[in-house]
């Protein structure tokens, strides 16, 4: 039975969303940031120290992750803390960790 036009549009939209996520994850710095933030909530200073990423690279990559709604922020005084906010990103990161980091 052929796919209806409505189903096809829904599948295409889902594929677009998946491609967008994979494009964000295809950057090593962003991948490392998500791995680190996935361990626990982290402030910018902790991310900088743990990953040896410096301004402006760190700021640029965190901006991309925020814009794509993969992380959310919380301010405490002068510190900004980051946590993962996308269930899909958490699931993908978990799968990647299982296959690439647990060796």
In whole angstroms, what is the distance from residue 65 CA to residue 55 CA?
A: 15
What count of residues does the chain have? 103
Segments making up each domain of the chain, as ranges = 5-101
Three-point CA angle 38, 35, 80, nearest 5°: 60
pLDDT at 102 exceeding the cut of 80: no
> Domain 5-101 belongs to what architecture?
Orthogonal Bundle (1.10)
pLDDT at 79 exceeding the cut of 90: yes
Q: Per the confidence metrics, is the pTM higher than 0.75?
A: yes
pLDDT tens digit sequence for 20-73: 999 999 999 999 999 999 989 999 999 999 999 998 999 999 999 999 999 999
In whole angstroms, what is the distance from residue 8 CA to residue 2 CA?
A: 10
In whole angstroms, what is the distance from residue 93 CA to residue 95 CA?
A: 5
Determine how β-strand 42-43 pairs with β-strand 79-84. Answer: antiparallel
């Amino acid at each position: 039975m052929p796919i209806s036009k409505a189903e096809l549009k829904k599948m295409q939209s889902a594929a677009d969303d998946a491609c967008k996520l994979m494009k964000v994850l295809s950057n090593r710095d962003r991948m490392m940031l998500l791995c680190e933030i996935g361990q626990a909530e982290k402030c910018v200073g902790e991310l900088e120290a743990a990953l040896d990423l410096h301004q402006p690279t760190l700021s640029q990559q965190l901006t991309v992750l925020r814009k794509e709604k993969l992380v959310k922020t919380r301010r405490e005084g002068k510190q900004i803390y980051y946590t993962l906010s996308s269930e899909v990103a958490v699931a993908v990161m978990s799968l990647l960790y299982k296959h690439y980091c647990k060796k």
